[in-house]
Amino acid sequence: MLPLVLPPMPGVWVLQVTKATLSKLHAVRAWPKQICAALTLAALAGLAGSIEVNQANEAELDGVRGFGPPTTARILQERAKAPFADWADLMRRVKGIKDARARQLSSEGMTVNGQPYPTP
C-alpha cells in the first residue's frame, strides 16, 4: 500500500491505495482538466460566434472590437425606435458605420436580421 497525499485540499488527506487503483486514480484526476478544457473551448466558440445587432445587449455591443460607449449608445438608441431592417438601414441610422466598417463587422460575425453584410 502506498500513502497518497492530494493537495490542495483544506487540511491534508492521506489515502491508502494499492498500485492497481493508483492508475485509475490518475485517470480520474485528469477529468477536471479535460472538463475545464472543453468548457473553455465552448466559451471561445460562443465568443467567436455571431452577434445579432437587433438582439445584442449593451455589454455584448461594447465587447465588439472598435465599439466604444458612444457607438453602442447610438445603436441602442436607434434600435429602441425600431429594429434594424438590414445593413443599409443600420448604416443609414448609426453614425460611424459605413461600407468598410460594415464589411469588417460582418467578417467578425456581426449580423443584422441574421444576415451578414452583402459583398459586391
* pLDDT tens digits, one per residue of 26-36: 555 655 666 55
Same domain (yes/no): 18, 34:
yes
> What is the SS3 assignment for 98?
coil
The CATH code of the domain that includes 80 is: 1.10.150
The average pLDDT across 36-64 equals 71
What are the residues facing 3 on neighbouring strands? 16
Say if 78 falls within a structural domain.
yes
Q: Which of 57, 43, 49, 26 is nearest to 116 (CA)?
A: 49
Q: Structural domain tally of the chain?
A: 2
In a domain, 102, yes or no: yes
Contacts of 120 (CB under 8 A, 6+ apart): none
Domain span at residue 81 reads: 51-111
Question: Both 30 and 71 in a single domain?
Answer: no
- Judgement on whether residues 8 and 60 belong to the same structural domain of the protein: no
The pLDDT, as a whole number, for residue 7 is: 53
Report residue 76 as a C-alpha cell: 441602442
Structural domain contains residue 14: yes
Please tell me the predicted confidence (pLDDT) of residue 47. 46
Q: What is the pLDDT of residue 1?
A: 57
Q: What does the alpha-carbon distance between residue 51 and residue 55 come to, in Å, rounded to a whole number? A: 8
* Residues 44 and 59 reside in one and the same domain: no
Query: Quick check: 109 pLDDT over 50?
Result: yes
C-alpha cell at 74: 447610438
Q: Where are the alpha helices (DSSP H) in the chain?
A: 19-48, 58-62, 69-81, 87-93, 99-107
Q: Which of 25-29, 60-64, 106-110 has the lowest mean pLDDT?
A: 25-29
Euclidean distance between CA atoms 51 and 116, whole angstroms = 10
